[in-house]
Amino acid sequence: MARAMELAREAAKAGEVPVGAVVVDPETGEIVGEGYNRPVGTHDPSAHAEIIAIRAAAQKLGNYRLTGLDLHVTLEPCAMCAGAISFARIGRLVFAAADIKGGAVMSGPRFFEQPTCHWRPEWRQDALHEAEAADLLRDFFRTRRG
C-alpha cells in the first residue's frame, strides 16, 4: 500500500484525484502493475488507478486473467473498477479509504454481493493507511474548492 500512496500523491501533483493502485504477486511481493488516476490528463473517463494498474499487469503477464494476484488501492473502488476487478479475476482486493459516495464494494451497490457478479475477490479495508488516504483526498478537494 505504501507504493499505492506514493502513486496517489503523484496523481495529486498532476491535478488528478489522488488515487493510486498496485497489482502485486502475493507469493513474491513483486508489483506487476501500477497506476494512478489519469482521466483528466488522458481525456479518458475509464483511466482510474485500478484500471491502469490492471491493464499494466495484464500486459506484463500476457494474460487478462490475474487470478491469485492482489490489488492494493488507496480508495474503495467504484462500480466500473469493481467490474474490472471481477473480470480480471483478482484474488484479493485491499483498499485504504472508504468512498461513501462513489464506492461499490462496502458502500453503494456492493458490487461483489450482486448475483450478476461472476467472480468475487476476497477484500478488506486497510485500517493502517485509511487515515492517510482519506486525508490526502480531503486536502486535495479542500484546495480545489478553496
* Contact in structure between 121 and 87 (CB atoms under 8 Å): no
For residue 27, indicate whether it is catalytic. Answer: no
Within-domain flag for 52: yes
Of 50, 76, 113, 130, which is the active-site residue?
50
Residue 13 in grid coordinates: 501533483
- Which tens digits make up the pLDDT trace of 51-63? 999 999 999 999 9
Within-domain flag for 145: no
pLDDT in the model for residue 60: 98
Tell me the residue range of the domain where 114 lies: 1-139
- Overall number of domains in the chain: 1
3-state secondary structure the chain: CHHHHHHHHHHHHCCCCCCEEEEECCCCCCEEEEEECCHHHHCCCCCCHHHHHHHHHHHHHCCCCCECCEEEEEECCCHHHHHHHHHHCECEEEEEECCCCCCCCCCCCCHHHCCCCCCCCEEEECHHHHHHHHHHHHHHHHHHHC
Q: Which pTM does this prediction carry?
A: 0.96
Low-confidence ranges of the chain (pLDDT < 50): none
Within-domain flag for 106: yes
pLDDT in the model for residue 145: 83
d(CA 145, CA 141) in angstroms, rounded, equals 6
Within-domain flag for 144: no
pLDDT in the model for residue 123: 98
Residues marked as binding? 48, 78, 81
Within-domain flag for 65: yes
pLDDT in the model for residue 144: 84
pLDDT in the model for residue 117: 96
Angle at 44 between CA 73 and CA 49, to 5 degrees: 10
Q: What is the CATH number of the domain that holds 121?
A: 3.40.140.10
- Which tens digits make up the pLDDT trace of 120-130? 999 999 999 99
d(CA 112, CA 85) in angstroms, rounded, equals 10
Residues marked as binding for Zn(2+)? 48, 78, 81
